[in-house]
Amino acid sequence: MENKKSKFSVVMHKILKVILKSLRSAYNTAKPSLIAIGIGLFIGLIIMLIFDARDAFPALITLLLGGFNGGIKGIGDTLYMAAPIILTGLAVAFAFKTGLFNIGASGQMMIGAYVAIHVGVKWGFLGGFHWIVALLLGMLAGAIWGLIPGLLKALSNVNEVVSSIMMNYIAGHIIILLIRNNVFNVNYSRSLNIMRSAQLPMLTSIFPGSTANIGIILVVLIVIATHYVIHKTTLGFQLRASGFSVAGSKYAGMNTKANIITAMTISGMFAGMAGAVALLVVGKNIGTSFEIFPQGFDGISVSLLGLGEPIGALFAGLFLANIRMGGYYMQLYSFVPQIIDMIIAVIIYVTAISVALQAILKVYGEQISAWWKNRKVKGVDK
């Protein structure tokens, strides 16, 4: 009996050791983002103290609680908001792996959203497959929209930043034209509501009264699959190699042009899925005035904060959605939700220089530690 207990304790000790090692590794990896978040929140607090010192700390707590302020419904709404943000972050991060900067996630998301709505309004004959087809065709539309700047980059070396941002404006004007000609609601100057059969299955049984749907579950599965592809497959290795060194990849015999096209197409597919997930809910519409979807630019923030990794994009997207939801609840105090944009901007700037910040903190940390030890030694000598 004692022998069994000792074996059990040994096994538990090993498991605990592995868990602690994994947590330490995850912390070291996430440290730049955690530093950036801490500095961003600190500066946000200073701004709030300047404008209203009395409500600053309660408002900061409300901001951090985010969707939890609204209970189960608030959490569900946060998860609904997070799904497209995570996907656009994943889109940008995937392109980063090939050394590309996909700033066209907004346009790809808009095209995916329109196609999903068009199918949702017009294709009721699909029955039980309605929402599945709407989602898949939205992803396909985003992939095609991402393919275009990928082809321009691979075949003519057109800068993908310029071409993809131009595609955003083209997408914005095209969907206005398409909505007015195909799915226009005259009374409200926006797209018609999709049919109930096209709506993504809702999670109202878990989050009553919220807009949460299975989109967040699909997103988590997509993130895990993407992480596996990038880090465990030949395609992922080639994409990362191309991102690290195009010349070296060519020398190794890799088809860097194909990698560029593949990366931008898959990136566009993720953004197109973001548009479909966001709009395949009854009552969610696209207006007929020109507007760039802001979630596409949130994707850049999410990708940077997530350090260009799929798993990082998942947690960064959840964090961003949570504090955006917290921004709405902050209006209970004397603050406007736009303060969130200031905090996010600071976080992104700090993330961009986080490596340098870590080096500075390490140097000065060692100097402070040495000074403190010397002070202690001198105190003992006296």
Residue 7 placed within a domain: no
pLDDT at 41: 84
| Residue with the larger pLDDT of the pair 136 and 294 | 136
Residue 98 lies in a domain: yes
Cβ of 118: how many Cβ atoms within 10 Å? 22
Assigned domain for 4 exists? no
Q: What is the pLDDT of residue 379?
A: 56
Q: Which residue has the higher pLDDT, 358 or 380?
A: 358
Q: Does the residue 15 lie in any domain? A: no
**pLDDT, tens digit, 9 for 90 and up, residues 14-70:** 777 767 766 676 667 677 777 778 888 888 888 888 888 888 888 888 888 888 888
Determine how many CB atoms are found less than 10 A away from the CB of residue 198: 27
pLDDT above 90 covers a percentage of the chain that reads 37
Question: Looking at the domain assignment, is residue 206 inside a domain?
Answer: yes
Q: What is the mean pLDDT of the chain?
A: 84
List of long-range contacts for 170-176, beta carbons under 8 Å, 24+ apart? 170/107, 171/106, 171/107, 171/108, 171/110, 171/111, 171/145, 172/107, 172/110, 172/290, 172/291, 172/292, 173/290, 174/111, 175/110, 175/111, 175/113, 175/114, 175/286, 176/288, 176/289, 176/290
Packing angle between helix 53-65 and helix 310-329, nearest 10 degrees? 140
Q: Tell me: the pLDDT tens digits for 106-120?
A: 999 999 999 999 999
Based on its alpha-carbon atoms, the radius of gyration of the chain, rounded to whole angstroms, reads 24
Mean pLDDT of 136-143: 96
What pLDDT shows up at residue 195?
A: 92
pLDDT at site 40: 83
Residue type, 154: A
Which range has the worst mean pLDDT, 23-37, 76-90, 224-238? 23-37
pLDDT attached to residue 202: 92
pLDDT band at 294 (very low <50, low <70, confident <90, very high): confident
User: How many domains is the chain built from?
Assistant: 1
Q: Which of 64-68, 339-343, 348-352 has the lowest mean pLDDT?
A: 348-352
pLDDT of amino acid 366:
65
| Average pLDDT, integer, range 253-268 | 88
Confidence (pLDDT) at 234: 87
CATH value at residue 181: 1.10.3470
Domain that holds residue 277: 30-358
* Number of Cβ atoms within 10 Å of the Cβ of 93: 29
Does 19 fall in a domain? no
pLDDT at 4: 57
- Helix/strand/coil (H, E, C) string of 4-30? HHHHHHHHHHHHHHHHHHHHHHHHHHH
Q: Is the pLDDT of residue 219 over 80?
A: yes
Cα 357 from Cα 94, distance rounded (Å) = 26
Confidence of residue 122 (pLDDT cuts 50, 70, 90): very high
Q: Is residue 220 in a domain?
A: yes
Q: CA nearest 35: which of 366, 367, 377, 358? A: 358
pTM equals 0.85
Please check whether residue 328 lies inside any domain of the structure.
yes
pLDDT of residue 352: 65
- The predicted structure's pLDDT at residue 356: 59
Residue with tokens 């999903």: 116
pLDDT score of 367 more than 80: no
- Stated as kind and residue range, the H or E segment containing 108 is helix 105-122
